[in-house]
Amino acid sequence: MKVEEVPGSKERSGMHWESVRVRTTALAVVVVGAALIVAGVTMVVLLRLQLTADIELAALRRAQEVAAQYSPARNPPELLTVSDDVFIQVVDVQRGVVAASSPNVVVSKAIVELKAGDEAEVIPDITGFVKEEDGPFLAVAVAAATPSGNSKVIVGKTLEPVDETVRAVTALLLGGIPLLLLVVGSVSMRVVGRSLAPVEAIRDEVEKISSRDLHRRVPQPSGGDEISRLATTMNGMLARLENSQARQRRFVSDASHELRSPVATIRQHAEVALAHPETSKLEELADIVLLENARLQRLVEDLLLLSHVDEGTLQLRTQAVDVDDLVFEEAKRLRATTVLRVRTSRVSAGRVSGDREQLNRLIRNLSNNAARHARGTVEFSLRDGDGAVVLTVDDDGRGVAPSERERVFERFVRLEEGRDRESGGTGLGLAIVAEIATAHEAVIAVADSPMGGARFEVRFHSADQADALGRPPARRPNQPSYRTRL
């Protein structure tokens, strides 16, 4: 019976080559295997060298012992008596003949030609030269002084124990390394799988989250490791997305409401004029249409500016701007359109690097906000010093409560919800002020005014300071506004 594979089963189990679990396990096995092979080869080589050195030392001591006690006159038999794994030959150097050999040597000639102090490995031929011993020998030669002249003692010791030990250790390594690698692979697979289990849980949860489920959060494992920090970061991202979506929905809702109001007003008056042409005046209808159209235009322009800010496409035509000229122009407009007292005695020269049109819009919005809440007086001040140009707009109105001084810069926020929309504005003026200030790398703050109302202060870099720091670019998407409190 053919068993069909469930789609995605390998991906979910993590048992495929692209899986981090499999690749990490394979890498661990390869690295550990390479390390074990290098360590094993090194150990075998060092073991052979050490055992060979021990054989050489034993042969050398035996040769020195024979050289010290050997005398052709008496030639004690016990001196040359050895086991089968050692041979001894005394060679007369002057005559070039073998003066004596141990009983186990089966040839009459010198087994190996060595100078005194040398050593060499000797491999027997087919017939051999030592009784019952066919393995290789390590031979050493030591000089010996005899009555008949100079001689040398050659002692050879078999290397077969070395080969046997090396073979045994090699066999042990060949059997142990694969078993150890199997253990390493199994443990690595299990440990990596347990470590990545929270990641899989996070992935499963994220896969289930849609634009309607931004309230959901991924599971966060305990501890402060990388996976826990990843979960914290993702939950923070989901929270930001949820807040952004909520703000966007509120923005769309408020914008729709604001747009519906002037449209409804125009339609209402147009329907009345059509229904009762005898009582309607064209001039009154035109005035209302123009007034509501201007309101629509301002709202659309504000929304367009904010959309450019959100998309990061707000471009500043940067130039040196005399802010004092803009302040005096706005004060002149305010005097002509309102009955308020407008003070400008504290306005001094101040030049910044920025977009003249946007800076004029910032001052206009601050002026309209102050005029909307002032009881009778609005005051402008401007000072330049310490590399900064500081613009201040004061009014003698009710002021802004400390708890509302951050919220006042949010879009469509009205601190007096019950007031008339015409007198209260659209709720975008100060939000635009904050965004324009941000685009110019300025700091905006709200405080209590000495006049009893609110004080809005904007701190710009002076033109010289801005040139030294570089021209301010337009704000990138999601860049926070530069706001603080006084």
pLDDT, tens only, 236-281:
888 888 887 777 777 777 677 667 777 877 888 788 888 877 777 7
Going 349 to 354 to 357 to 359, the CA torsion angle's sign is negative
User: Position 396: which residue type?
Assistant: D
Assess contact for 220 and 231: CB atoms under 8 A: yes
Whose structure tokens read 């290789």? 136
pLDDT in tens, 408-456: 888 777 665 434 444 446 678 888 899 899 888 899 999 999 999 999 9
pLDDT in tens, 217-228: 888 787 777 778
Structural domains of the chain ordered from first start: 9-49+164-208 (no CATH), 73-159 (no CATH), 226-307 (1.10.287.130), 314-469 (3.30.565.10)
Whose structure tokens read 């005029």? 371
- Among the listed residues 343, 353, 344, 298, the one whose alpha carbon sits nearest the alpha carbon of residue 321: 353
Say which residue, 118 or 467, is predicted with more confidence: 118
pLDDT of residue 469: 58
Please state, in angstroms and rounded to a whole number, the distance separating the CA atoms of residues 112 and 57: 18
221: left (phi over 0), alpha (psi -120 to 50) or beta: beta
Please state, in angstroms and rounded to a whole number, the distance separating the CA atoms of residues 102 and 33: 49
User: Position 256: which residue type?
Assistant: S
205: left (phi over 0), alpha (psi -120 to 50) or beta: alpha
Task: Show the tokens assigned to 477.
Answer: 């998407």
pLDDT of residue 132: 62
pLDDT in tens, 87-104: 888 887 766 677 777 777
Any bridge partners for residue 259, and if so which?
none
The answer to whether residue 188 scores a pLDDT higher than 60 is: yes
Q: Where are the alpha helices (DSSP H) in 312-428?
A: 323-337, 356-373, 421-424
The predicted model scores a pTM of 0.52
Assess contact for 334 and 395: CB atoms under 8 A: no
pLDDT of residue 6: 41
